[in-house]
Amino acid sequence: MAVSLTTYLNNQIKGKGSTLAKEKAKAEKYKSISAAKKAGALYYTDKSGKVMAAVYAEDLKKAPTKTAAPKKSLRPRARPNNVGSTPAATAEETAEVKKRNAEIKLAERARKNTGPNAARKKPMAKKKVAPITFQMWSDMSRAERKSNGLPVSLIGGQMAFNRFKTGITGKEYDSKGNVINGNPGAKSGGRNNPRR
């Protein structure tokens, strides 16, 4: 079965491990098909100076449809496995690295915790307090609220004690988010508690 001229030329170029441009550059040396064939070139230049393929019809009929693999692989060689790589660190070296990393972290923290904003960055210690109800919170002064670690502003208190949720469910919540009593207080109209 005959192959197309393009397929034949592409297979020949791949088999040589060359490129189309390199093969066409050789065409200037040869003025006939027979001269190019003898030299093993794929192209020649005719009388009018046009580059032509140096292929006979019999070549197309004899050519295999698939080309053999190129003699030299175009893929790069595989890298060797971890032969000769650096050995694993000893226990002493690992301990030293951990110690140095801890020192670096401490120095970094010390650098961050100094300066004009240091007091603002330090986390406040949370006091353990019994659950406080919204009513207890609203009776406190702003200073008492702050000392107990509770929100100082009205909107902050509303959010902390789930007052918006109270309006929907009708249940009272403490500062920890727990329901104080399951009995609903004054019912308000809401999505879950419509007025009757």
39 domain residue, yes or no: yes
Tokens describing residue 161: 């004690």
75 domain residue, yes or no: no
82 domain residue, yes or no: no
105 domain residue, yes or no: no
116 domain residue, yes or no: no
- pLDDT per residue as tens, the chain (196 positions): 578 888 888 888 888 888 888 888 888 888 888 888 888 888 888 888 888 888 888 887 777 666 556 667 677 777 777 666 666 788 899 999 999 999 988 888 777 766 666 656 555 555 555 677 778 888 889 998 888 888 888 888 877 777 666 666 667 767 666 777 655 444 444 455 555 5
Q: Which domain holds residue 156?
A: 134-181
C-alpha torsion angle, residues 31, 32, 36, 39 (rounded to 10): -80
Task: Please identify, among 27, 47, 62, the residue that sits at the C-terminal boundary of a domain.
Answer: 62
129 domain residue, yes or no: no
72 domain residue, yes or no: no
Task: Please identify, among 24, 42, 62, the residue that sits at the C-terminal boundary of a domain.
Answer: 62
94 domain residue, yes or no: no
Residue 185 has a pLDDT of 46
Q: How many domains does the chain have?
A: 2
User: What distance in Å separates the CA atoms of residue 77 and residue 69, rounded to the nearest whole number?
Assistant: 16
CA of residue 116 relative to chain centroid, distance: 37
User: What distance in Å separates the CA atoms of residue 117 and residue 112, rounded to the nearest whole number?
Assistant: 9
The pTM of the full predicted model, rounded to 2 decimals, is: 0.33
Task: Please identify, among 34, 62, 90, the residue that sits at the C-terminal boundary of a domain.
Answer: 62
